[in-house]
Amino acid sequence: MTAADMIIFGRKVSECASSTLPRDLDAVEFFSGVRSIQRACVRRGLRAEFLDKLHGGTRNDVTAPEGFNHGVDLALRIKWGGLMTLAPLCSSFSSPCASVHRRSPENDFFGDMTKHCVIEGNDIADVAAFYAVLGATRGVRVVFENPPKSKMWDYRPVKHALAFIGCTWQADGRRCAYDVGSGPLIGKSFRFKSTENWIKGLERPCVCTRPHVKLTKEFIQSNTGKAKNVGQRRWTGIKSKLEESGSYPNALGECMVGLWRGEDMDVLFTAPRTPLPALPPKPLRCISSKAAARASRASKEVEQNRKQAAASGSKSKPPPPARIFKKPAARATTSDSTTMISWMSPSASASDSLATPSSPGIWFTVLPEQRQADAVADNAPMPSWLNPAP
C-alpha cells in the first residue's frame, strides 16, 4: 500500500487524481491564516484561492466532510505547474505541548489518542498529506511547512507521503528576517519542504540586534490536585503570541511566490526596509489659567509639608494635597445624547442586520467631535499580521 492509496471520507487519492474538473487556478494556500501567499498571487494578477478553518463554517473545516471535499476540489483545479502550499496546525506536534500529546517513536508519533487536541492534530495532518499527494500526482508544485522541531515530520502518514512525492528539498527561514517593525520581532523558525529546489531561496538567517518577542512565560506550579512537580518552575506558551508567530509576513508570501515564478527576490532584502508607522502623537491639551493657579498652589502646599516634616524629624509621610480638580458632572443619558447602532436596533431589517441580539437595547453614548478625534488618536492601529496590506 502506497500513499496514493490513502482514503479519507471515502475518497481515494488515485481515484480523485483522474477528475475532469477544469484546472483554472494558479495557486491554492491551504491553512492560509492571514493569506499572505494568496494575496501575493493576486497582486501579480494570478488566480488563487485559500482555505482555513479561521474563516468559519464547515466549508472551511477540512476535518468535516464538506470542508474536506471542498479542499479536494480546490486541489484538483490547480493548473499543471501551479503552486500548493500547506501549513497544517502544529500546536499538538510542538515541544511546548510534549507533556500533553506524548508523541514518541514507540507510538509512531500518533501521540495520546485520548486527547481531543491530539486527535484533531492527527486528522489535520492526514488531510494535509492527502492534499500533498493529490497535488503532486497532477503536476503541482507542493510546499509543506512546519517548525523544524515539530513532531509532524516524523508522523508516519506525513513522512511517508512526503517521501512518496519526492518532497525532499528543504529550507529553514526565520520569521524576523521577513518582518518589519520598530520593536522586537518574532524569531520563530519555519521549515519548508518542497518538490522543487527553488525553495532554497527562502533560507534567511536572523539579523536582529535586539531580543525577540517571548513566546513562552515562566510560572510556579501550584497545587491543583492533579499537577505534578508542585512548587517548581515551569514554562507555558503565550497563546496570542504563538498564534501570531504562525502567520506569514507579507514579505514571506511575496518571496515564495516570486521564487516559484522565477523572479529575482534578492532585491526584496537589499532594498531599505520600511518600518511600521509609529503611533500618532497625542494632541496637546490646553489648561485654563484657573487650573494652572490651582496646580501651582497644590505644588507649593506639597513642598511646605515636605519642609515641615524634614524640620520636625518626623518620618511619617506628609498629608496629601487637597483635591484640585472638580468631580465631573454625570453624563447625560437622554435620548438626545444617545443612539443605537442600526443592526442592534429592534426595527432594523433582516437584510441590514449582522447579528440578531438576544436582548436589544444596547446603547452607546455619542461623544462630542473633539472627544471623538482624541479617541481615534489614542487608539493603537491593528497589528500588521492581523490586517495585511491588500
* pTM (whole model) above 0.85: no
Say what the pLDDT of residue 290 is: 67
* Residue 335, in any domain of the structure: no
219 or 373: whose pLDDT is higher?
219
The model's pLDDT over 312-332, given as tens digits with 9 standing for 90+, comes to: 765 555 555 554 444 445 544
The number of domains in the chain is 1
**How far apart (Å, rounded) are the C-alpha atoms in residues 325 and 202?**
59
The model's pLDDT over 26-51, given as tens digits with 9 standing for 90+, comes to: 999 999 888 899 999 999 999 999 99
345 or 9: whose pLDDT is higher?
9
The model's pLDDT over 98-153, given as tens digits with 9 standing for 90+, comes to: 667 788 888 888 888 888 888 999 999 999 999 999 999 999 999 999 999 888 99
Q: Which of 54-68, 147-161, 299-313 has the highest mean pLDDT?
A: 147-161
* Residue 349, in any domain of the structure: no
The model's pLDDT over 355-378, given as tens digits with 9 standing for 90+, comes to: 333 333 333 333 344 444 444 444
* Residue 387, in any domain of the structure: no
The model's pLDDT over 57-84, given as tens digits with 9 standing for 90+, comes to: 788 899 999 999 999 999 999 999 999 9
* Residue 220, in any domain of the structure: yes
Tell me the CATH number at 62.
3.40.50
* Residue 63, in any domain of the structure: yes
Say what the pLDDT of residue 363 is: 33
For the cut 60, the answer to whether the pLDDT of residue 335 exceeds it is no
* Residue 205, in any domain of the structure: yes
Residue 163 structural domain: 3-270
* Residue 379, in any domain of the structure: no
* Residue 297, in any domain of the structure: no
Say what the pLDDT of residue 73 is: 95
Answer for the pair 155, 109: CB distance below 8 angstroms, yes or no: yes
